Chains A and B, each alone.
Chain A
Amino acid sequence: KAGVTQTPRYLIKTRGQQVTLSCSPISGHRSVSWYQQTPGQGLQFLFEYFSETQRNKGNFPGRFSGRQFSNSRSEMNVSTLELGDSALYLCASSLFGGAADTQYFGPGTRLTVL
């Protein structure tokens, strides 16, 4: 099976712009989670989607949003970008998001905000 894929891999934006990142889960996986990784804060949970519904949410401002499509692909959007949004954004998928499920991570999208 192909692994989790994320596009684009690298992105450069300027402050105030918005950005959309995409994640394609492993075939058959219905749960998609997003994480932000920065040198200062480490890996932080953004949100999780299952069957097109946001099921869990981390402590990020409303500028960070996401959605999931019927084929389980997910997008996350960051509006009004700030310098501090520069990070590696990781997506992870699992079968149902259940207790026994393993999360499989994608390679990440490196976002740089200038």
Chain B
Amino acid sequence: AQRVTQPEKLLSVFKGAPVELKCNYSYSGSPELFWYVQYSRQRLQLLLRHISRESIKGFTADLNKGETSFHLKKPFAQEEDSAMYYCALRYQGAQKLVFGQGTRLTINP
């Protein structure tokens, strides 16, 4: 079965420090991986997707098929990065997203 695991429920780092939010997935085919973010009192929104290979708000994520991982990274955290982050997998081209449990990131000043 398809599964997405985010091992850290909570992550706290200081402003300016590097951030890495972990995501591992279980899927035998070719997955599409996404990171969604939910800022306080805002709706869930797409942060980035692996097929775009782009950097959004300084965040990048590389799909590692060998390790079945899609970790989200940012070299220098900012206070406005504090939010809930969800890793999600879409398979077989369907609109069905399988989400991880989420990681609450807190950036301390």
Q: Footprint of B on A, CB under 8 Å?
A: 3-4, 31, 33, 35, 42-45, 48, 50, 55-56, 58, 90, 94, 97-99, 101-108
Contacts and interface: CB of A to CB of B under 8 A. Distances in A.
B96 A56 contact: yes
A55 B99 CA distance: 19
A41 B98 CA distance: 12
Contacts, number: 52
Determine which residue in A42, A97, A98, A101 has the highest number of CB atoms from chain B within 10 A of its CB, and name it: A42
B46 A48 contact: no
Interface residues of B, number: 18
Contacts of B97: 33, 35, 43, 45, 103
A98 B49 CA distance: 14
Nearest to A45: B96
Main secondary structure of the interface of A (DSSP, over half): strand
Determine which residue in B45, B95, B96 has the highest number of CB atoms from chain A within 10 A of its CB, and name it: B95
Interface of B: 32, 43-46, 49, 86, 88, 93-102
A78 B88 CA distance: 25
Given A43-B86, A99-B32, A48 B43 contact: no
Nearest to B44: A105
A108 B43 contact: yes
Contacts of A106: 43
B94 A48 contact: yes
Nearest to A40: B101
A41 to B, nearest CB: 9
A99 B59 CA distance: 22
A107 B97 CA distance: 17
A80 to B, nearest CB: 25
